[in-house]
Amino acid sequence: MSWIRYREATIDQLQRAFEANRETIPLAARLIAEAVAGDRILHVFGSGHSQLVALDIAGRAGGFANVNPIFDPLFGRAERLEGFVSALLTAHTFHPGDVLIVISHSGRNPAPIEVALHGKQHGLPVIAVTAVAFSRSLPSRHSSGKRLFEIADVILDTLGAPGDAVIPLDADLSVGPTSTVIGAALLQAVISEAAAQLLNRGVRPPLFRSGNLEGADAYNQELRSRYRGRVTLLI
């Protein structure tokens, strides 16, 4: 049955991705831990369905309160249009010490590439979540000729398949994309490691609590106040 094939394919890819990123997860976590310890901001961008992965670490229980999501209001419909994200970036301020996370399965479209280049121009380290082998097989659609993995300082490789869907139904029809599941898992692993690194340094990580827990509202409000005006608040 197809759902069993999807389950097995996803579990296999997840295990391989964690092994492939055994060294890069702690590196990405260190960048984030340093930013949090320095009272800096974690900016995150994904266009289209990659935005789902970006939002998975923003404004949620167990996540850092200093995450600033850069929203794509067109949900990917203009990600191939060079210059599109310029208007989005005017609403956000990047400072030295901040960190930028950019998510793109193919890593070839102008929107994520321009966000990554903008971050580099402002001195931010860039963490990319992308499918490296797939991206290598494709030309960039940005005038720089670069793909996302060629710009990033740290790469979290999802090991994603070409076209993302992993279950072929016939010769030209496939189902079961994995980029959201794997990308989100890798980023949550990074967040978990960063929080542990902070505690080891004697820094209490600013992690949101579930609003369904007693006393969480007051605790979360204090965290919102700490970063108000610097992040787009989701909760």
Residue 171's pLDDT band (cuts 50, 70, 90): confident
Structure tokens at 59: 């404004």
Pairing state of beta strands 173-177 and 165-170?
Answer: antiparallel
- Strand 126-130 with 99-103, pairing: parallel
For residue 122, the number of C-alpha atoms closer than 13 Å in the C-beta half-sphere is: 18
- Average pLDDT of span 206-221: 95
DSSP state, 228?
B
* Mean pLDDT confidence for 228-233: 88
Segment 45-65 shows an average pLDDT of 96
179-200 and 24-37 are packed helices; what angle lies between their axes, rounded to 10 degrees?
A: 60
Q: Give the pLDDT mean for 207-228.
A: 95
Task: Tell me what pLDDT residue 235 has.
Answer: 53
Residue 54 has pLDDT above 90, yes or no: yes
Give yes or no for residue 234 having a pLDDT over 70: no
**How far separated are the first and last CA of the chain, in Å rounded?**
39
Cβ–Cβ < 8 Å for 97, 230? no
Query: Cα–Cα distance between 221 and 137 in angstroms, integer?
Result: 46
Q: Is the pLDDT of residue 199 over 90?
A: yes
Helix boundaries (H) for 168-233: 179-200, 216-227
Asked whether 183 and 51 are in contact (CB, 8 A), the reply is no
- Give the span between the Cα atoms of 187 and 44, in whole angstroms: 11
Q: What is the pLDDT of residues 10-44, one digit of tens each?
A: 999 999 999 999 999 999 999 999 999 999 999 99
Q: Supply the Cα-derived Rg of the chain in whole angstroms.
A: 18
Greater confidence (86 vs 12) lies with 12
> Which phi and psi angles does 232 have, rounded to 5°?
-85, 115
What's the confidence (pLDDT) of residue 72?
A: 92
